[in-house]
């Protein structure tokens, strides 16, 4: 049980948030199947990314860590070996789904296992399209444990039934090993880090001008790269939210990734009346990043529907919190994917925000929130339910409380942001 800090005097200061989780996973995987050495600077050393790193080591890839730089000795597109033990995916959906796509076409056999949360998450969404390519994947009632027997793969033309960057990336990684080019069609564009990084490593992958159709050329010669991973906007979003809802705040966040498939939170905040300013913009070979300045603001309610969801999928717990402080009724719909995240996030958001005295109605695909700037706490004992993003969202909500609150399972932050509480404390103005 952790006693959470409050921040009546506001937040001040400058912070560099840790490296992007999605890009850290992808950098490891692409480094492993390239020829030569890859250096990933500002790598996110969190439990999820370490699940990918350890799995690749177990598949025969030499990888070393020196502070926040990871060095990978790539073994080429077909260089992975059968592991001696089960591959433990921990809590990480990204590790599981991306590696399932990659391993489907390798000369090996592997069994993927995970923790109790991951073992309840749906895996047929990758199994079904990969089977069309000739993959041999066995699930246990649609879930982990998952057994892969690598096969020669055929190309695929696939219309994605759900908006998922994990599924899209699994298919791209399988398509690299196929016989002829593959096409993946999204109905809503999702994060495109795999596509961007793959181009940097020398892959040939094209995206149609409307961003819906992706064509992957097989059997590329990928070459090791030296890349610096921008800060994770999904981690920055906790402090963006905190500075917005806590009066007298003004903070600066540097080197935050600004890929347009990820910046939905900034658009939502702008619509709600938030004060976020991008003060510098930069670009490396694959990604845009910049410095954000955030000040407190009083917010208007918001309405989000299915088309808005992919670019804010991981920020929806925070959007619920922002809506809870806005005067009026906000409605989030088309977000049923939240039900199959690390927890059923619709249920956990509703359960925990009610403890702050907020009226919130649960829908099958979202929620309706009756926001108010001042809250009356009716239960001071919060619970992350073991979900990293719920843990951090509740710590931000607690800053606003006028009484001390406790958080059960606060250690879930280690999944994506081990230094979260340290960084939060560094911004709080002490009385
Ligand atoms: C991720 C994609 C999203 C996101 C997850 C990371 C990725 O999941 O929620 O945190 O790195 O590809 P889905 O693909 O399941 O939407």
Contact 42, 14 (CB under 8 A): no
Q: What token pair was written down for 307? A: 């088309």
Choose which residue among 47, 93, 192 to substitute to test ligand 1 binding: the one with the highest number of ligand atoms within 8 A of its C-beta: 93
User: Each residue of 243-292: pLDDT tens digit?
Assistant: 999 999 999 999 999 999 999 999 999 999 999 999 999 999 999 999 99
Any atom of ligand 1 within 6 Å of the Cβ of 166: yes
3-state SS string for 122-154? CCHHHHHHHHHCCCEEEEECCEEEEEEECCCEC
Distance CA 334, CA 357 (A): 25
Contact 182, 157 (CB under 8 A): yes
| Residue nearest atom 15 of ligand 1, based on CA coordinates | 164
DSSP state of 246: S
Compute the half-sphere exposure of residue 202: CA atoms within 13 Å on the CB side of its CA: 17
pLDDT for 423: 98
Angle at 306 between CA 272 and CA 253, to 5 degrees: 45
Distance CA 294, CA 419 (A): 21
Q: What token pair was written down for 280? A: 């510098």
First to last CA, the chain: 24
Residue 232 catalytic? no
Distance CA 152, CA 193 (A): 26
Choose which residue among 19, 21, 22 to substitute to test ligand 1 binding: the one with the highest number of ligand atoms within 8 A of its C-beta: 22
Query: Cis peptide leading into 272, omega within 30 of 0?
Result: no
Radius of gyration of the chain measured on its C-alpha atoms: 21
pLDDT for 171: 99
| Residue nearest atom 11 of ligand 1, based on CA coordinates | 22
Distance CA 212, CA 159 (A): 10
Residue ranges for the chain with pLDDT beneath 50 = none
Q: What are phi and psi of 161, to 5 degrees?
A: -75, -25
Distance CA 216, CA 176 (A): 7
Query: Which CATH superfamily, name and number, covers 2-19+230-427?
Result: Enolpyruvate transferase domain (3.65.10.10)
Any atom of ligand 1 within 6 Å of the Cβ of 259: no
Comparing C-alpha atoms, which of 184, 179, 180 is closest to residue 207? Answer: 184
Contacts of 141 (CB under 8 A, 6+ apart): none
Choose which residue among 23, 30, 89, 94 to substitute to test ligand 1 binding: the one with the highest number of ligand atoms within 8 A of its C-beta: 94
Distance 164 CA to ligand 1 centre (A): 6
Stated pTM of the model: 0.98
Any atom of ligand 1 within 6 Å of the Cβ of 95: no
pLDDT for 48: 98
Distance CA 384, CA 382 (A): 7
DSSP state of 300: -
pLDDT for 304: 99
Distance CA 263, CA 265 (A): 5
Question: Counting atoms of ligand 1 from 1, which one is nearest the CA of 340?
Answer: 15
Q: What is the CATH number that goes with domain 21-228?
A: 3.65.10.10
Any atom of ligand 1 within 6 Å of the Cβ of 22: yes
Contact 87, 55 (CB under 8 A): yes
Distance 85 CA to ligand 1 centre (A): 26
- For residue 40, the SS3 value is strand
Distance CA 107, CA 94 (A): 22
* CA-to-CA dists, residue 86 to 46, 96, 103, 112, 184, angstroms: 21, 12, 13, 6, 30
3-state SS string for 152-204? CECCCEEECCCCCHHHHHHHHHHHCCECCCEEEECCCCCCCHHHHHHHHCCCC
Compute the half-sphere exposure of residue 53: CA atoms within 13 Å on the CB side of its CA: 20
Question: Counting atoms of ligand 1 from 1, which one is nearest the CA of 234?
Answer: 10
Distance 190 CA to ligand 1 centre (A): 9
pLDDT for 421: 98
User: Each residue of 360-400: pLDDT tens digit?
Assistant: 999 999 999 999 999 999 999 999 999 999 999 999 999 99
Any atom of ligand 1 within 6 Å of the Cβ of 96: no
Any atom of ligand 1 within 6 Å of the Cβ of 165: yes
* CA-to-CA dists, residue 315 to 88, 155, 273, 399, angstroms: 27, 34, 17, 18
Q: Where in the chain is the domain with CATH 3.65.10.10?
A: 2-19+230-427, 21-228
Any atom of ligand 1 within 6 Å of the Cβ of 235: no
Which of 232, 255, 314, 423 does the annotation list as catalytic?
A: 314
Distance 124 CA to ligand 1 centre (A): 15
Determine which helix (DSSP H) or strand (DSSP E) holds 264, and give its type and residue range: helix 264-272
């Amino acid at each position: 049980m952790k006693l959470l800090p409050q921040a009546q005097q506001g937040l001040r200061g400058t912070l560099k948030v840790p490296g992007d989780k999605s890009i850290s996973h992808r950098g490891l995987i692409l480094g492993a199947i390239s020829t030569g050495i890859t250096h990933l600077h500002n790598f996110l050393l969190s439990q999820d990314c370490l699940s990918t790193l350890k799995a690749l080591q177990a598949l025969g890839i030499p990888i070393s860590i020196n502070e926040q730089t990871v060095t990978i000795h790539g073994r080429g597109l077909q260089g992975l070996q059968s592991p001696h033990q089960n591959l433990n995916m921990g809590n990480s959906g990204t590790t599981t789904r991306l590696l399932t796509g990659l391993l489907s076409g390798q000369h090996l056999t592997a069994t993927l296992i995970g923790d109790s949360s991951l073992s309840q998450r749906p895996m047929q969404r990758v199994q079904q399209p990969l089977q069309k390519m000739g993959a041999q994947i066995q699930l246990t009632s649609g879930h982990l444990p998952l057994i892969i027997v690598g096969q020669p793969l055929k190309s695929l033309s696939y219309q994605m039934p759900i908006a998922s960057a994990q599924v899209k990336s699994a298919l791209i990684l399988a398509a690299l090993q196929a016989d002829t080019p593959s096409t993946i069609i999204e109905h809503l564009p999702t994060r495109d880090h795999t596509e961007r990084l793959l181009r940097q490593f020398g892959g040939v992958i094209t995206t149609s001008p409307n961003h819906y159709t992706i064509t992957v050329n097989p059997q590329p010669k990928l070459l090791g790269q030296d890349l610096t991973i921008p800060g994770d906007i999904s981690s920055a979003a906790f402090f963006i939210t905190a500075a917005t809802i806590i009066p007298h705040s003004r903070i600066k966040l540097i080197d935050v990734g600004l890929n347009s498939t990820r910046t939905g939170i900034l658009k939502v905040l702008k619509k709600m009346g938030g004060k976020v300013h991008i003060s510098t913009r930069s670009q490396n070979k694959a990604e845009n990043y910049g410095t954000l300045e955030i000040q407190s603001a009083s917010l208007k309610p918001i309405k989000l529907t299915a088309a808005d969801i992919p670019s804010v999928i991981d920020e929806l717990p925070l959007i619920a919190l922002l809506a809870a402080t806005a005067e009026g009724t906000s409605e989030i719909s088309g977000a049923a994917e939240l039900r199959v995240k690390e927890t059923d996030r619709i249920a956990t958001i509703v359960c925990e925000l009610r403890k702050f005295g907020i009226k919130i109605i649960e829908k099958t695909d979202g929620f309706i929130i009756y926001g108010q700037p001042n809250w009356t706490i009716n239960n001071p004992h919060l619970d992350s339910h073991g979900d990293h993003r719920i843990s951090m969202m509740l710590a931000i909500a607690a800053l606003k409380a006028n009484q001390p609150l406790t958080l059960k399972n606060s250690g879930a932050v280690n999944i994506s942001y081990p230094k979260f509480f340290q960084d939060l404390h560094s911004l709080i103005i002490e009385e």
